[in-house]
């Protein structure tokens, strides 16, 4: 699977985390559930591809419309799942940026839940 975004040595590298390809994020969970329910044969593969792209590149109107069609959901539902994932990611970054014992513990619990 190709790396989404710049590589580690690329001067444009701006915090892309290759672990996104494996993390069980909110958007990945939502997408996998909806694709599976819609009978999409490669739900896990598409969710694994779209979830990191969602965080790194954002969600274009075209991508959102395609996902709405594939998941048999509305454009608003796709955008809500995207926004929930981004909000969770922002919260994770806040915890990492200001770690105290409680914040580190909360962050470790989130990581453990993903894996």
- Please, which pLDDT band fits residue 113 given cuts at 50, 70 and 90? confident
pLDDT at 10: 53
- What are the backbone angles phi and psi of residue 83, rounded to the nearest 5°? -65, -35
Q: Where are the alpha helices (DSSP H) in 25-100?
A: 26-37, 43-57, 61-71, 75-97
pTM of the model: 0.68
Q: Tokens 């909110």 — which residue?
A: 26
18-27, 68-77, 102-111: which range is least confident on average?
18-27
Nearest alpha carbon to residue 38 among 74, 91, 81: 74
- Per residue in 25-66, pLDDT (tens digit) is 889 999 999 999 999 889 998 888 887 777 777 888 999 999
Say which residue, 8 or 107, is predicted with more confidence.
107
Q: Tokens 């509305």 — which residue?
A: 74
């Amino acid at each position: 699977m190709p790396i989404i975004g710049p590589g580690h040595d690329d001067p444009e590298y701006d915090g892309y985390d290759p672990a996104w390809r494996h993390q069980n994020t909110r958007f990945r969970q939502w997408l996998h559930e909806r694709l599976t329910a819609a009978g999409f044969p490669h739900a896990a593969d598409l969710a694994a591809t779209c979830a990191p792209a969602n965080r790194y590149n954002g969600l274009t109107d075209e991508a959102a419309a395609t996902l709405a069609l594939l998941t048999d959901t509305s454009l608003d539902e796709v955008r809500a799942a995207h926004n929930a994932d981004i909000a969770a990611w922002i919260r994770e970054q806040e915890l990492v940026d200001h770690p105290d014992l409680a914040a580190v513990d909360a962050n470790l619990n989130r990581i453990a839940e993903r894996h």
